[in-house]
C-alpha cells in the first residue's frame, strides 16, 4: 500500500514500537481516590480554538466540512485498503485544507514537562503516538503556541536504545550514535515527523483538579517536514498500539469521549477521558482493531420503522478494504455505495413529501439537498438507526443526518462510498453521544448524553 499509493495527503507509514511498561497515577488533588482524567476537547471551529475563523459563513463552513471529509475519507481508504474514487488532486480540496487530512477536528489541551508547558494537539483515533514538535528544530512548521523545549524540562528523558520501550525496527534507524531511541512517522505525501522517543510528565487540568502522570512515552519531533498549514503542536494518537497514551495509562486501556453540538461555536463541554475513569455506559458492541483503526460490525440501517434493504455482508471488511470504522477526524459519515443509495432513496421519499429539492445541488457531490432549515423543517422526521452487533442501536435525528449548507438549503451529511469501500461513522453522527472504548474487552459502549453533566 505504502509504495503504490502516491498522493498528496498525510498517511502514517511506520510504527516502530513494541513493548511498554505500565505507569501509575500521581494526583495532586486532595481526594483520596484518583479522579477522572478528563481533558477538555476544543472543536477546531469553536470560539475556544485558536484556529477558528469567526467570519466564516455557514456555506464556507459546510464546504470546508465537506472537503475535509472527502480528504479524510481518501486518507482512510488508502490506509485501510484501496484508494478512494474521490480525487486527491483536486485543487479545491488542496486549497487551504491540506492540514486537515489527518482529521483536525478536536484539539486537546494539556501540559508537558516540569514546569508544565501548555500544548495543543489534535485528537486522532486513527493514529497511535503522542508527538509534539520539539526544540531545537532541524525543521518545524509554525505552530500557534511556543514549541516545546525539552532542555527546559527537568523531568524530560530520552529513552535509551536498550530501554524496554525502544525495541524498534529497523535497529539502525532507531538508535543513534549516542544510544538515543528515535522514532519516525512518514506520511503518504512524504511529510514526516522524526525525533527522539522520550518520556516526560503530562499534566491534565480540569474543573475538578490537576492530574499529573509521570514517564509518559511520547515523540519529541525535531524534524517535521511537509506539514504545510498545520498550526497545532502535534497529535494525540488514541489508536491501540503500544506507543499510544491509551496503552500506557494504567492496565485498563480505556478511553471515552463525549461530543455535543459541533455546529455551536460556543459549546464548551466536549471532553476526552483517559484511563480507568472512562465512561463505559449504554449499548455495547464489539470493536475489531485492525491497522490501529476501530472497526464496528454494522448489521443494518433503518429509517423510522423500516429496515433498508441492504445485502448482508456489504459492510464486511475484506483484504481489499471495506468495513465500518468510527473516526474522530471526519465530519461527515460515509456509506458503502449500495447502503448509501438505499438510505438516500428512503430519505428522499420522505423529504419529497414535505420540501422542495434544491434545484441544482449547490456543488457536487452534495447529493441530497433540500430548501429548508434543519431546525425548522425537519421536526418529526423519522430517525435513522444504525444497528450494530449485539443489538446496539445508534439512533440519529435530523441534527446528525443533515447539515445546513447555506441560510436556506441543507444537505445529507453522508458521503457516497465505493463498492468495496470503507464506511465511516463521522463526528456529525457522533454528536450528543458519549463513546467509551474498552480496549481489553474490545467493546465500544455508547449512549446519548448531555456532555455538560460530565463537566
Ligand X SMILES: *[C@@H]1O[C@H](CO)[C@@H](O)[C@H](O)[C@H]1NC(C)=O
Beta carbon of residue 9, minimum distance to ligand X (angstroms, whole number): 9
Using the rule CB under 6 A, is 440 a contact of ligand X?
no
Using the rule CB under 6 A, is 29 a contact of ligand X?
no
Contact assessment for residue 227 and residue 191, using Cβ atoms and an 8 Å cutoff = yes
Q: Measured between alpha carbons, how far is 56 from 45 in angstroms, rounded to an integer?
A: 9
Q: Measured between alpha carbons, how far is 430 from 32 in angstroms, rounded to an integer?
A: 34
Q: Which residues in the 363-402 window bind ligand X by CB under 6 A? A: 375, 399
Contact assessment for residue 167 and residue 18, using Cβ atoms and an 8 Å cutoff = yes
Using the rule CB under 6 A, is 405 a contact of ligand X?
no
Toward ligand X, which CB reaches closer, 41 or 324? 41
Report residue 418 as a C-alpha cell. Answer: 465505493
Q: How far apart are the first and last CA of the chain?
A: 42
Identify whether 365 is preceded by a cis peptide bond (ω within 30 of 0).
yes
Q: Which residues in the 295-354 window bind ligand X by CB under 6 A? A: none
Using the rule CB under 6 A, is 205 a contact of ligand X?
yes
Using the rule CB under 6 A, is 118 a contact of ligand X?
yes
Give the count of beta carbons closer than 10 Å to the beta carbon of residue 159: 21
Beta carbon of residue 190, minimum distance to ligand X (angstroms, whole number): 4
Toward ligand X, which CB reaches closer, 110 or 255? 110
Using the rule CB under 6 A, is 263 a contact of ligand X?
yes
- Residue showing cell 460490525: 297
Using the rule CB under 6 A, is 223 a contact of ligand X?
no
Beta carbon of residue 189, minimum distance to ligand X (angstroms, whole number): 5
Cα-based angle 91, 95, 101 (whole degrees, multiple of 5):
100
Toward ligand X, which CB reaches closer, 94 or 109? 109
Report residue 374 as a C-alpha cell. Answer: 434543519
Q: Measured between alpha carbons, how far is 337 from 419 in angstroms, rounded to an integer?
A: 5
Beta carbon of residue 47, minimum distance to ligand X (angstroms, whole number): 10
Stretch that binds ligand X, among 75-83, 154-162, 170-178, 261-269 (CB under 6 A): 261-269
Using the rule CB under 6 A, is 60 a contact of ligand X?
no
Using the rule CB under 6 A, is 21 a contact of ligand X?
no
Contact assessment for residue 155 and residue 201, using Cβ atoms and an 8 Å cutoff = yes
Parallel, antiparallel or unpaired: strands 333-335 and 414-416: parallel
Contact residues toward ligand X (CB under 6 A) are 6, 8, 42, 48, 50, 109, 118, 120, 141-142, 189-190, 205, 261, 263-264, 375, 399
Amino acid at each position: 500500500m505504502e509504495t503504490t499509493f502516491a498522493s498528496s495527503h498525510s498517511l502514517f507509514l511506520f510504527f516502530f514500537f513494541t513493548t511498554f511498561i505500565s505507569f501509575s497515577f500521581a494526583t495532586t488533588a486532595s481526594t483520596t481516590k484518583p479522579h477522572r482524567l478528563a481533558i477538555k476537547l476544543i472543536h477546531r471551529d469553536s470560539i475556544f480554538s485558536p484556529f477558528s475563523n469567526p467570519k466564516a459563513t455557514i456555506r464556507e463552513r459546510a464546504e470546508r466540512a465537506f472537503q475535509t471529509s472527502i480528504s479524510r475519507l481518501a486518507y482512510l481508504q488508502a490506509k485501510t485498503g484501496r484508494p478512494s474514487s474521490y480525487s486527491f488532486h483536486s485543487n479545491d480540496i488542496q486549497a487551504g485544507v491540506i492540514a486537515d487530512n489527518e482529521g483536525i477536528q478536536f484539539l486537546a489541551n494539556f501540559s508537558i514537562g516540569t514546569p508544565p508547558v501548555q500544548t495543543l494537539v489534535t485528537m486522532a483515533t486513527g493514529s497511535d503516538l503522542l508527538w509534539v514538535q520539539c526544540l531545537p528544530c532541524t525543521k518545524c512548521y509554525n505552530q500557534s503556541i511556543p514549541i516545546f523545549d525539552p532542555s527546559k524540562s527537568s523531568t524530560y528523558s530520552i529513552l535509551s536504545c536498550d530501554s524496554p520501550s525502544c525495541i524498534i525496527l529497523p535497529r539502525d534507524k532507531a538508535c543513534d550514535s549516542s544510544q538515543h531511541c528515535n522514532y519516525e512517522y512518514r506520511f503518504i505525501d512524504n511529510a514526516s515527523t522524526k525525533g527522539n522517543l522520550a518520556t516526560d510528565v503530562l499534566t491534565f487540568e480540569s474543573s475538578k483538579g490537576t492530574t499529573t502522570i509521570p514517564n509518559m512515552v511520547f515523540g519529541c519531533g525535531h524534524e517535521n517536514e511537509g506539514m504545510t498549514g498545520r498550526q497545532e503542536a502535534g497529535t494525540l494518537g488514541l489508536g491501540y498500539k503500544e506507543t499510544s497514551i491509551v496503552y500506557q495509562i494504567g492496565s485498563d486501556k480505556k478511553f471515552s469521549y463525549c461530543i455535543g453540538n459541533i455546529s455551536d461555536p460556543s459549546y464548551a463541554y466536549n471532553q476526552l477521558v483517559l484511563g480507568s475513569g472512562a465512561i463505559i455506559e449504554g449499548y455495547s458492541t464489539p470493536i475489531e482493531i485492525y491497522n490501529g483503526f476501530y472497526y464496528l460490525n454494522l448489521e443494518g440501517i433503518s429509517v423510522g420503522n423500516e429496515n433498508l434493504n441492504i445485502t448482508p455482508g456489504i459492510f464486511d471488511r475484506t483484504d481489499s478494504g471495506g468495513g465500518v470504522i468510527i473516526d474522530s477526524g471526519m465530519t461527515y459519515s460515509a456509506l458503502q455505495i449500495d447502503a448509501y443509495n438505499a438510505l438516500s432513496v428512503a430519505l428522499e421519499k420522505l423529504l419529497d413529501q414535505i420540501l422542495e429539492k434544491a434545484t441544482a445541488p449547490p456543488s457536487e457531490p452534495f447529493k441530497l439537498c433540500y430548501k429548508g432549515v434543519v431546525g425548522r423543517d425537519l421536526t418529526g422526521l423519522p430517525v435513522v438507526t444504525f444497528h450494530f452487533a449485539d443489538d446496539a442501536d445508534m439512533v440519529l435525528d435530523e441534527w446528525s443526518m443533515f447539515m445546513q449548507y447555506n441560510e436556506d438549503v441543507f444537505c445529507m451529511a453522508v458521503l457516497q462510498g465505493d463498492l468495496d469501500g470503507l464506511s465511516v461513522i463521522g463526528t456529525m453522527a457522533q454528536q450528543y453521544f458519549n463513546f467509551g472504548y474498552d480496549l481489553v474487552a474490545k467493546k465500544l459502549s455508547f449512549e446519548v448524553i448531555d456532555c455538560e453533566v460530565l463537566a
